[in-house]
Structure formats: structure tokens, C-alpha cells
Amino acid sequence: MAAYATQMDAAKQGILTPEMETVAKEEHLEPELIRQRVAKGTICIPANIHHKSLHPYGIGEGLRTKMNVNLGISGDCHDYTAEFEKVKLAIQFQCEAIMDLSNYGKTHTFRKQLIEMSPAMIGTVPMYDAIGYLEKDLADIKATDFLKVLEAHAKEGVDFQTIHAGINRRAVEALKRQKRTTNIVSRGGSLLFAWMEMTGNENPFYEYYDDVLDILRKYDVTISLGDALRPGCNADSTDAGQISELVELGALTKRAWERDVQVMVEGPGHMTMDEIAANMKLQKRLCYGAPFYVLGPLVTDVAPGYDHITAAIGGAIAAMSGADFLCYVTPAEHLRLPDLQDVRDGIVASKIAAHAADLARGIPGARDWDNAMSKARCAIDWEGMFAQAIDPEKARDYFESRPPQDRHTCSMCGKMCAMRTSNKILNGESVSLTPDEA
């Protein structure tokens, strides 16, 4: 039996776990530095003791920006085969995390198969599964019932769980005074708000927070403190409701660390570009440097069908300014359940945002990837370029859809290719644009 309960517990004892060693190697950092930051809470390594297929990843201070893919079945779309195709795509693109947001029927079988096959971290929102799991209407669920769902997910091997513990009665009062444009847009947050208002009770995840932590510690599940009051439009960003909840999340972060439970903090939804950097600093300050899991932020509200772009813009700024973990957004956001192409587009947009931020932050190894692409481009080495592309399949398809006569160019510039011209002159060759020139 392990001499430690969680990654944080091990780190505080001075123990380097295999997971810490893996993270250090892949991040080009010293293992001792990883251990120190895990002990401090500024890095988390979500790794449930029952997730045997997991490839461990670190999230937090000084590490590459990680990304998450949301998927799962719903009442209108419960095609398990289609969702597993999305899982395979996420694994193909080496996404670090997958969240199962299923909210229809008995989700245990889907989640069990997902955990068995996925090297990515698996996350859930137990609140989504409560109705189906407990077979009760929302108003009939007891406070302690919610904890049963949380423990069921933990036993199955889920690496992190989004728990909306910060939307307590104080935060709700701040929300009501604010009179928001879009009220509560968090699905889990809205359900908890409804339950609290219908029953007159405090948020069960807040009231029984110590019990929540005991369960998570038992299986080494990282708590992702959900932002139930995140802004759902630019008009609501950085308002009293959002900040009131964030203050509560900071206090809950410290309580989790005292129990050796690893923490991520979620936020902030929609906001204009000029507010993003300040929000990143505010979160880090109020939550003591805990890793920040960013939802968006969407920088404009008027682009349905293109919200993977609005989120990638916001995600890049957020990650450059201190966010550690991006949640992808697909073109289907606000419109429908994403299909396979939507998922692909969302993954690529988020990976671009994450890597662009890593370049700006000088993350070890980040520039090596771009340098490899640049060398292949200079050499007009198409296979080399495809190998370095975020989406090699699309890059190849575009090139081959209208191939040039001369494979040392592309069909846009032909023999006027700047790389070709420069290379020839620098090699002491002359340049001719006649058709018969090699």
C-alpha cells in the first residue's frame, strides 16, 4: 500500500511519485521543482488511483497549457457510438483531458469504458448525473444524496470532478442584487440554485464540504471548483456575483489543501479582451496561485457558429496571462450538441490558443516545435511540414487538393515561391521562371 494518500500528500512528505517524475520529464523541468509546486498547490496532477490507463499530466505553474474536451450523451442525442468516435479523436490529438458531461439515463457504462480506454485525464460534473443516478426529481433529492453520486464517480476512476461549492447563500444574494443580463449560465450552478431556492437549504457541496473532501482524498480525485456564477455574456463580466463566488472559492481552496486534496479553480466564461488579464491575476491572488481552468473566455457574444474562434482568442490571452488549463469550445456552442467535425474544429482551435500562449510565456520546449516547422518550410519539405502540423491530415488534404506541377513549391506561388528563390540564390544558383526549369 502506498505511503501517501494523494499526490499532494506525497509531495508534502518529500516523496517523488512516478507521476511527478513523468510530468518533470515531459515538461523539461527538475522533478524536485514539480514536487515543491504540487506540495504548495500551484501544480496539480489529477490521477485517480483507479484510472489504470492514465498518462499523468501536470496542470499549473510553469507548465505547458493543457486542454480539455467536453463530450457526453444528452436526452436529445444519446448515440454512444458517436460519442466514442469523439473520444478517439481527442486521444488522436493527444488532448490531456476529457470531461464526460453526460446527463441522460444511466451513464455508468459509458464512463467505465471511457476510463478504461483513455490515457487522458477524465473529469465529470456529478450534479449532471444526479437525476438519472438517483432516479429522483430535483426537489426530492436530499443533501447527502448528492455525495453518493460524487463517490460513485470517484470509485469509477474519475480524475477530477467539477464541484460547484462556491455558490452558497451569500453568493446567491450578491447575484440577486446584481440583476444580471443572463442570470446563471452554468448548468450545474443553475440546478444547485434551483434546488437551494426550492428547498430553502444551503448548497449541499458547501454545507458538507468536509465530507466532499474526505471522499475525494480517498481516491485522489482533484476538485475542480466550479464557477457557477461565471458571466454568460460580456455585460455580466467581473460583476459582484462572479467576484463574490471567487472569494468563496479561495477559502475552499485552502480548506482542500489542508486535507491534501488537489485543486483547480474554474472561470470565467464571457468577457471582453481588455478584462481577461486582470481576471487571471485576480483569480490567482484570491485563490492562492491554484491552477486556473478557463472556460473560454468568449470575447464577443455575436458569433454563434464560430465560437471556437471567439474562445480561442480569449483562451490565448488568458493562458498568456496566467491560466493553466483551457476548455475547448466548438462551433456548435450555444446551438446544439457538437458533431465529430465540430469537435475536431474545437480541439484544433484550443490547441492553437494553448501553444501560442506557451510560446509567449517561454515554456521550455515550446519554440522547438515551431522551429522544426520553420526548418521544414525553408527546405520546402512537405512531409516534414505535415509531420509538425497540429492537424497533419488537414494540412495534407489542402496541399493535395490542388497540387503544384513542381513539388518544390505550392499552387499559390508556383516558381515564384519566396523560399525557392531565396534558397537558390543563397546556394549560388540562378533563378529562372521558365516552365522547363527544375
Mean pLDDT of 272-301: 97
Known binding-site residue numbers for [4Fe-4S] cluster: 410, 413, 417
Kindly indicate the confidence band of residue 174, based on its pLDDT and cuts at 50, 70 and 90: confident
What percent of the chain stands above pLDDT 90?
Answer: 84
pTM for the full predicted model: 0.94
d(CA 63, CA 96): 13
- Cβ neighbours of residue 400 under 8 Å, at least 6 residues apart? none
Contact in structure between 43 and 26 (CB atoms under 8 Å): no
Question: Which residues are bridge partners to 97 per DSSP?
Answer: 68, 121
The DSSP code sequence of 323-349 is --EEE---TTTTTS---HHHHHHHHHH
Rounded (10°) CA dihedral 44, 26, 28, 96: -50
Cα 273 to Cα 287: distance, rounded to the nearest angstrom: 22
95-109, 123-137, 246-260, 382-396: segment of lowest average pLDDT: 95-109
| pLDDT at residue 298, as a whole number | 98
Distance (Å, whole) CA 268 – CA 95: 21
Q: Is the confidence at residue 391, as pLDDT, over 90?
A: yes
Confidence of residue 400 (pLDDT cuts 50, 70, 90): very high
Which residues make up each annotated binding site? 70, 99, 128, 164, 186-188, 227-230, 266, 270, 293, 334, 410, 413, 417
Which string of b and e fits 133-154 if b means at least 16 CB within 10 Å?
bbeeeeeebebeebbebbbbbb
pLDDT over 60 at 294, yes or no: yes
Binding residues for substrate: 70, 99, 128, 164, 186-188, 227-230, 266, 293
Interval 27-40: pLDDT, tens? 999 999 999 999 99
Mean pLDDT, the chain, integer: 94
SS (H, E, C) 80-120: HHHHHHHHHHHHHCCCCEEEECCCCCCCHHHHHHHHHHCCC
> Which range is least confidently modeled, 153-162, 253-262, 389-398, 421-430?
421-430
For the annotated binding site for Zn(2+), the residues are 270, 334
Residue 313 has pLDDT above 60, yes or no: yes
| pLDDT tens column, 177-193 | 988 999 999 999 999 99
Cα 374 to Cα 381: distance, rounded to the nearest angstrom: 10
- Cell digits for 160? 477530477
Q: What is the pLDDT of residues 48-106, one digit of tens each?
A: 999 999 999 999 999 999 999 999 877 666 678 899 999 999 999 999 999 998 876 66
**pLDDT of amino acid 1:** 58
- Cα separation of the two ends of the chain: 68
**What integer pLDDT is reported at residue 213 of this predicted model?**
98
* pLDDT band (50, 70, 90) for residue 110: confident
DSSP strand pairing (66-71 vs 325-327): parallel
Counting residues of the chain whose pLDDT is more than 70, the rounded percentage is 97
Contact of 288 with 250, CB cutoff 8 Å = yes
DSSP assignment of 270-294, as one string?
Answer: E--HHHHHHHHHHHHHHTTT--EEE
The x, y and z cell numbers of residue 6, run together, are 494523494
Angle 367-373-374 (CA atoms, 0-180°, nearest 5)? 85
Q: Is the pLDDT of residue 437 over 70?
A: no
Q: How far apart are CA 297 and CA 272, in angstroms?
A: 8
Domains of the chain, each with CATH number or no CATH: 46-361 (3.20.20.540)
Q: Which cell numbers hold the place of 148?
A: 453518493
CA dist., res. 68 & res. 283, Å (int): 20
* Residue keyed to cell 507521476: 19
Better pLDDT: 202 or 72: 202
Average pLDDT over residues 278-303: 97
Q: Are 369 and 377 in contact (CB under 8 A)?
A: no
Question: Residue 223: enclosing H or E segment and its boundaries?
Answer: strand 222-225
Length in residues, the chain: 438
- Collapse the DSSP code of 50 into the 3-class scheme (helix H, G, I; strand E, B; otherwise coil) and give the result: coil
Half-sphere exposure at residue 294, Cβ-oriented, CA atoms within 13 angstroms: 36
Contact 266, 230 (CB under 8 A): yes
Bond from prior residue into 364 cis (ω within 30 degrees of 0): no
